Amino acid sequence: MVKDELNLLVDKLNLQVKSFQEGFEVLSQARNLKDLAKHFSHILRGNLLTLNVNIFYFEADGSNWSELYIHDEKSFDFFKHFEKKTVPEICFLDDECFKVAITLPLIDKSFFGLIVGGKIDKKDYSEIDKISIQIFMQLLGNAYQAFVNQKKEKELVFSLNNRVLQLNSLIDTGIELSSIQNTDSLLELALQRSVVLTNASAGGVFIEADSIELQQLTFPPGLDKEYLENSDNKLRTNFELLGKDYTFILVEKESRQGVVEFDDTDEILLGAFARQLQSAIENEHLHKEALEKENIKKELSVAAEIQKKIIPDSLPKIEGYKIAGINIPSKEVGGDYYDCLELNDGRFALIMADVAGKGVPASLLVSTLNASLNAYLDLQVPLEQLAMKINSIIYNASPSNKFITFFISILDPSTGELDIVNAGHNPSLLLRKDNTLKKIDAGGVAFGMFDMGLPFAGEKLVMERDERLLLFTDGIPEAMNHLEEEYSDERLDDFFCRNRPESAQKFVNDLVEDVKKHTGATPQSDDITALYLIRN
């Protein structure tokens, strides 16, 4: 008799183990916590032969239990008095409706809570049932751990894809610029970007040959190599090239939760970055002269074509106004940018910008600025907020020695109202009909210099009839003659006040002619750009 009972017990336990295995497969397919709770409720009901299974969840660092899957609304009031325990706790209750209360601590310091009713056949829970409940609590804990791991894997894949795209973009930029920068500049850029890419707080690159240190760069500057080497939280990679050893060390990965360990994604990204950098340095060494000339030619051609599309061929017609503009780059491509964009609410954006530097790097930042403006302007974001958004974009897209001075005015043509922000640009000039001159300099620092949430102050003006507005870059007042004398702000102010032609285009042409009269045969040293508006 005892043997028969023992065999029966073994059979039931074997059945429970099989159910446990099948249940884990079902639970591992859950898409979210509610789905997990629903599946587990079905499994537990089927094995315990009860209709009343209620499942709650207490999130780590949370303050209240939440309902995941409920059969009896009274269960929540009944369960919320139970305390969370650091170990699983199963309590069998002497209650008319609810017979089992369970708190299950999870791997991430969150909790499951379960309230289970009586069995369908009204019998008490047997010893086998109690063992089964313990087994299924382990099942639920394991299934939750699998759910968390799957979620982390998805986040890791997303993070990897996103950061690989960022890496490719940075490397493409680095390779593109390598033909016009020396190795030191490339290494400095690579170090700064790798620190940013992995959210490291500091880093260094060290170059050795035959165990003798040839060069070291750190970010921030001035760090000791010993400090980086002795850090418990670091990531490093190295490569060998032309008899030299290049070693990258990054330390102290930062996050919202504070300093955390570098993960596999960071290691993959840094390794990929190092391989791309190795290729760039090798190309520079082996093909410097030939590739430099060819790449510059191609880059200038592409950049010139891009800039032709960015700088407007013609400006929109504004009823009640005359407008004209001009851009004369000092090289094949320049860093000046102007435009007049009609917005979807009938207003017009008058834009003037100047990138520090010339050539391809400047034109790339002009492209970034143009794309950002086209993305945000029609959203009718207040200009002060627009300036902060674009400043952040330029700051993240440019090296430390690049920035953009920027002026924008949103014109309401029906009222003449001007909504203005000036980000470190030359003050624009407004000539009143009584011939008084207003210099507009409201704003903040140039884009790309800082990204600390500094505000941009706006200004509102009204442009009356027969008043004139001039936007320009510093290539006009700073244009020099052979004696290195500048055209000057004073001469520009005087020219602006004295010349009031009916045609906006005539004013622009006359201004350029006056500048060239001053410079004579001296080569143009900076881009010349102006935008002129008359209210009829």
Query: Is 242 in the same domain as 322?
Result: no
Q: What is the mean pLDDT of residues 8-30?
A: 63
R_g of the chain, CA atoms, integer Å = 35
With a cut of 70, say whether residue 313 has pLDDT above it.
yes
Query: Is 140 in the same domain as 255?
Result: no
CA-CA distance, 290 to 281, in Å (whole number)?
A: 15
Query: Is 73 in the same domain as 218?
Result: no
For residue range 426-480, what is the model confidence (pLDDT) as tens digits?
999 999 999 999 999 877 889 988 887 778 888 999 999 999 999 999 999 999 9
Direct distance between the N- and C-terminal alpha carbons of the chain, in angstroms, rounded to an integer: 111
Q: What is the mean pLDDT of residues 286-307?
A: 65
The verdict on residue 173 lying in a domain is: no
Q: Which is it for strands 443-444 and 417-423: parallel, antiparallel or unpaired?
A: parallel
82-86, 407-411, 489-493: the lowest-pLDDT one: 82-86
pLDDT of residue 180: 47
The verdict on residue 319 lying in a domain is: yes
The verdict on residue 339 lying in a domain is: yes
Q: Which is it for strands 244-255 and 234-241: parallel, antiparallel or unpaired?
A: antiparallel
Confidence of residue 15 (pLDDT cuts 50, 70, 90): low
Comparing 395 with 3, which gets the higher pLDDT? Answer: 395
With a cut of 70, say whether residue 304 has pLDDT above it.
no
Query: Is 212 in the same domain as 144?
Result: no
Query: Is 389 in the same domain as 495?
Result: yes
The verdict on residue 297 lying in a domain is: no
pLDDT of residue 1: 47
Residue 167 in contact with residue 269, Cβ under 8 Å? yes
Comparing 169 with 353, which gets the higher pLDDT? Answer: 353
pLDDT of residue 177: 47
Burial class (CB in 10 A: 0-12, 13-18, 19+), 377: buried
Query: Is 145 in the same domain as 187?
Result: no
Query: Is 333 in the same domain as 377?
Result: yes
Confidence of residue 486 (pLDDT cuts 50, 70, 90): very high
User: Residue 263: which domain range?
Assistant: 179-288
3-state secondary structure 140-167: HHHHHHHHHHHHHHHHHHHHHHHHHHHH
What CATH number has the domain bearing residue 129? Answer: 3.30.450.40
Other C-beta atoms within 10 Å of 195: how many? 20
CA-CA distance, 523 to 516, in Å (whole number)?
A: 10
The verdict on residue 304 lying in a domain is: no
The verdict on residue 375 lying in a domain is: yes
What CATH number has the domain bearing residue 400? Answer: 3.60.40.10
Query: Is 147 in the same domain as 264?
Result: no
CA-CA distance, 351 to 471, in Å (whole number)?
A: 8
Q: What is the mean pLDDT of residues 385-403?
A: 88
Domain count, the chain: 3
Q: What are phi and psi of 59, to 5 degrees?
A: -70, 145
Query: Is 225 in the same domain as 127?
Result: no
Query: Is 265 in the same domain as 328?
Result: no
Residue 341: which of 365, 364, 369 has the closest Cα? 369
The verdict on residue 481 lying in a domain is: yes
The verdict on residue 294 lying in a domain is: no
Q: Which is it for strands 417-423 and 404-412: parallel, antiparallel or unpaired?
A: antiparallel
Query: Is 496 in the same domain as 431?
Result: yes
CA-CA distance, 240 to 246, in Å (whole number)?
A: 6
Query: Is 493 in the same domain as 529?
Result: yes
